[in-house]
Structure 1
Amino acid sequence: MFDVDGRRFLDLNCNFTTLIHGHAFAPVVEALTHQLQRGSCFANPTESEIELAELLCERIPQVHRIRFVNTGTEAVLFAIKAARAFTGRSKIAKLEGAYHGAYDWAEVSLAAMPDDWGDPDAPSSTGVYRGMPASVLDDVVVLRFNDVESVRRLLLLHAQKLAAVILDPMPSRGGLIAPTPEFIAAVQDVARSSGILLIADEVLNLRQSFRGASVRYGLVPDLVTMGKIIGGGLPIGAIGGREDVMKMFDASAGQPLLPQGGTFSANPLSMTAGLVAMRHLDHAAFAHLEMLGNIVREGIGQTISNRGVPLCVTGAASLFRIHPMAQMPSDYREAYPGLAGVTLMKQLTRFFAESGIILPYGTAASISTQMACADAEFIIHVFTGFLDKYEDMLDAVDVCA
């Protein structure tokens, strides 16, 4: 990526993990150029819409039917509405610190802080913006990631009113931490026995494998929300899942139980770009991404170990995140940085930018298929240079820890 001053950067933001093939991916550019000559949007279905739907239904387990929207936020909000329509219940449960877009109920406790996040065994529902209705907070049960006992207890306590549990298999803003098998099992067991639908939010984490992130962690959802990589760099979102749940959107017999539409939903530009991008994400592409991700995480981890500095790295597949703490966090609260840690991470982002790498602050860094081993080694080299320059700041983090 080049800025207006002509400076060259290796982009690890990739529009917040969206650009899995990097910028201006030639096959997508070519396909979009052709589609623009044929029309940019219609009030009718198109062939590319059907083909992308077929690809996703064939590839992603539990996605038997699918509907396209314009953003990940829309995908999440319609998944929650579908769960409410299907169960007749209103409450949802979500993870503390997990980001699911800009829908009121999905935003609860997104930015919980030590002074308001409450009891570790029963987290408080906290607002994310001024004026968030108290009724919204009352309708959301907040869970701690990887806390098996409290999650089981809270889900059972509220089971009769819960429509859904929405779960990001590896929450980016929550720390990019892997779920434990016991945590996944506990959530699924209570959900199944209590008639609570399980929504896997894979808007970001679908890029973890050819079949998505849920398969990687043993999660079997009722609904899956998708976005980012399935649009090839254009706006997109999608809701997929069990056929009986997706029937809430069915208008073939008249008024659906859950109306859903959008002027630009399933527009042919997003469908065309997404179809081409996803076709190029074959098994070989994912193996390449996995290999590069392993090189980066292992290289950074080994450098941390060799230096004995109070940092750690989390992530999986083509994603990684560096934390200002020596102990690997297991949930959002443990990943929450102190003041010295925040200062250090901001300096890390600045140092990377000065060295020619765009490293996102406070969320996942992502690798694209266009990167090579040399790029992975460059990332490790710059990280090592940061440790050389900011040893004093690392000492301050160690003291605070």
Structure 2
Amino acid sequence: MWRQLLPIGRDAASGGYRRFAWTRADSECRRWFEEQARGRGLTYEIDRNGNQWAWLGEPARGDAVVTGSHLDSVPDGGAFDGPLGVVSAFAALDELRRRGARFAKPLGIVNFGDEEGARFGLACVGSRLTAGALTVEQAHRLTDGDGVTLPQAMEAAGHDPGAIGPDPERLDLIGAFVELHVEQGRALDLSGDRVGIASAIWPHGRWRFDFRGEANHAGTTRLADRRDPMLSYAGTVLAARREAELAGAVATFGKIAVEPNGVNAVPSLVRGWLDSRASDQKSLDAVVDGVRQAARAHAREHGVTLDVERESFTPVVEFDHALRDELARILGGDTDLRVPVLGTGAGHDAGILSGRVPTAMLFVRNPTGVSHSPAESADEDDCVAGVLALADVLEGLACT
């Protein structure tokens, strides 16, 4: 399974993946998912929001156990973020069948669409729509860098955009959702553990900063006569690092758009996106407020105007304590297996669904801690340990 996925959407120059929502690479990943589902005799379906589902048993009683993740990627992302959870879900089912496990509850495997938000700028679109955390009107306003709207992209890929929207009936089928994911950090590597359990997702959000100045000639405009928004932006980037360090949080300006984007022109607009995350809401607020105040000061200094808009926000997500404790009991059992519980600053579909269904997460060790990069990695033995842990969890939750 892993070898089949590896070539899809891979950029030859960077070695990273560009599996953006509703593109050709995404369609190839989706075909792979369908083939895996049908090849195992599972009932395959696509829901109204384009998420893919594979079912063992009939989900009707509200106690289905579901696992899975996503197959799309960030620009030049790694091979493990998302796909590891989907591959492991199918592999865990294979392992349970090898064990001769008898299922007492329906089992579902899911591939949520557009989790990374690489194309339309909003993460977890598929799960947000399903959970009602993204309205149809908001979804219709999402556009990519070429001006293509989300509905247009979905229609071009063969999905009916007129059907999108909240799907409470589907969520009512789920009694527990467990997502396996490569760790996006080094906590497990530092502790020497192969697998961990998530405790919570830090509150996090994305803010767009628009600095508007005056376009002018780079060679003939005196420095004193310039209204250069790039200077305000540069000062704000440094302020974000400073504020994050003071609050014990993280803050990143990782995306920028410049107009007119000419080598020999003073920009008229610099638009930058801030991603900030912290272990608690108070710390996150302190970082964002500090960055905003610094941006305003730099804008005044350089004679430019500033607009700040929050584009997305997710409050702290405490995973279901009872389900989390059940995972720890299943994996610990009567053995000496130590399964650490750790928080994460990365958002996930499990976090979006947590307000509607009991959710939990398993992490697989990442020896470098690198993620959202071609250097993202996990050792094969650790991946196998993750599959076996997921199989144990699914057996404990869904089997007699």
Query: Per the shorter chain, which TM-score range?
Result: under 0.3
Q: TM-score, normalization: structure 1?
A: 0.25
Q: TM-score, normalization: structure 2?
A: 0.25
Which structure shows the bigger proportion of residues in strand conformation?
2
Which structure shows the bigger proportion of residues in helix conformation?
1
